C-alpha cells in the first residue's frame, strides 16, 4: 500500500515537472493541486524543487496576466462609448481570460470593471429559451459606419471639407442643386474619414509596451533573495515581490543589462 502511494507520488511529481518545463499553465495548476493534496509534509529535496518551480511559474503567469488586464482596461476605455457589442466581444473575451489567470492579484475595483465590460459586451446574458423552430438567418447588408459618431464635432471641422468646400472651422453645407447653402447637422464623411485614418495610423505606429517584469527578476523586499533566486518560502514568492514586479512594469522601468536587478 505504501509502495503504491509512493509510486503515485512520484508519477504526479514527474508530470508536474514536465508541465512546468512545457509552460502548460492549466495543467501545472491542476497537478499542483493534486500534489499538495497527496504529498506528505516531509518532502524530499527534489519534491521541494518541483513544487517551488510550479508555484513560481503560476505566480509569474498571474503577475503578467494582471498587467494584461490593466492594459486591456485602458484600451477599452479609449474606445467610443457607443461601440456595438459585437465589436467589443473579442477584446472583452481576452480581458476575461486574463482576469481568470490573474486570480487574486486583481483588486476589487478591477474585478468590478471586468464585470462591467462583460455586461456591456453582452457576454453575461443568458441564452433566450427557444420555444419555436429556429428561423433561417436572413443575410442583411452591413450598414455603413456613422463616421460622425467616431469624431468629436470640434475636431471634425478643424480641416476644410473636400466635398462642400467649407473652410476650417466652418460647418458643412448641404450640397444639392437648390443652392440654399443649408447647414448640415454633421460634417461630410469625406471630411471625417481622413481624421479617422490618421488616428488609426497613429495607433498602429505606437510602440508596443515592454513585456512585464517577471517576479524573479526583482529582489524580494521581505527575504532579500536576488534575481533568479526563489523566495525562502514553501508557497511561492512573497506578495511584496509580486507587487514590486508589477510596479516596475507599470513604471516601464528598463531592465538591467544583466539578470541581476539594477
Q: Give the confidence band of 77 by pLDDT, cuts at 50, 70, 90.
A: confident
Lowest mean pLDDT among 180-189, 195-204, 252-261: 252-261
Residue 242 CA, chain-centre distance (Å), reads 18
pLDDT at 132: 56
Decide: 130 and 141 in contact? Cβ < 8 Å: no
pLDDT digits (tens, 9 = 90+) for 23-72: 788 888 888 787 777 655 667 777 778 888 888 888 888 888 888 888 88
The domain spans of the chain are: 2-124, 154-202, 211-262
Confidence (pTM): 0.41
pLDDT at 261: 45
Sequential DSSP letters for 81-132: TT--HHHHHHHHHHHHHHHHHHGGGS-HHHHHHHHHHHHHTT-SPPPPP--S
**Does residue 240 register a pLDDT over 80?**
yes
Amino acid at each position: 500500500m505504501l509502495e503504491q502511494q509512493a509510486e503515485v507520488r512520484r508519477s504526479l511529481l514527474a508530470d508536474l515537472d514536465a508541465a512546468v518545463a512545457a509552460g502548460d499553465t492549466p495543467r501545472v495548476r491542476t497537478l499542483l493541486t493534486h500534489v499538495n493534496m497527496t504529498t506528505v509534509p516531509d518532502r524530499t529535496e527534489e519534491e521541494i524543487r518541483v513544487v517551488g518551480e510550479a508555484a513560481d511559474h503560476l505566480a509569474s503567469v498571474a503577475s503578467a496576466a494582471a498587467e494584461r488586464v490593466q492594459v486591456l482596461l485602458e484600451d477599452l476605455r479609449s474606445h467610443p462609448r457607443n461601440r456595438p457589442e459585437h465589436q467589443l466581444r473579442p477584446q472583452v473575451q481576452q480581458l476575461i481570460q486574463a482576469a481568470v489567470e490573474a486570480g487574486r492579484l486583481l483588486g476589487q475595483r478591477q474585478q468590478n470593471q471586468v464585470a462591467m465590460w462583460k455586461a456591456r459586451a453582452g457576454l453575461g446574458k443568458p441564452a433566450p429559451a427557444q420555444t419555436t423552430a429556429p428561423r433561417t438567418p436572413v443575410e442583411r447588408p452591413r450598414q455603413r459606419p456613422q463616421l460622425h459618431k467616431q469624431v468629436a464635432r470640434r475636431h471634425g471641422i478643424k480641416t476644410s471639407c473636400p466635398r462642400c468646400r467649407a473652410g476650417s472651422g466652418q460647418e458643412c453645407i448641404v450640397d444639392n442643386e437648390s443652392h440654399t447653402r443649408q447647414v448640415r447637422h454633421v460634417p461630410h464623411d469625406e471630411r471625417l474619414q481622413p481624421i479617422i485614418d490618421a488616428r488609426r495610423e497613429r495607433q498602429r505606429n505606437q510602440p508596443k509596451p515592454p513585456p512585464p517584469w517577471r517576479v524573479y527578476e526583482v529582489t524580494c523586499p521581505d527575504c532579500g533573495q536576488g534575481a533568479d533566486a526563489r523566495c525562502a518560502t514553501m508557497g511561492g514568492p512573497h506578495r511584496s515581490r509580486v507587487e514590486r514586479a508589477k510596479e516596475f512594469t507599470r513604471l516601464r522601468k528598463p531592465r538591467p543589462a544583466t539578470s541581476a536587478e539594477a
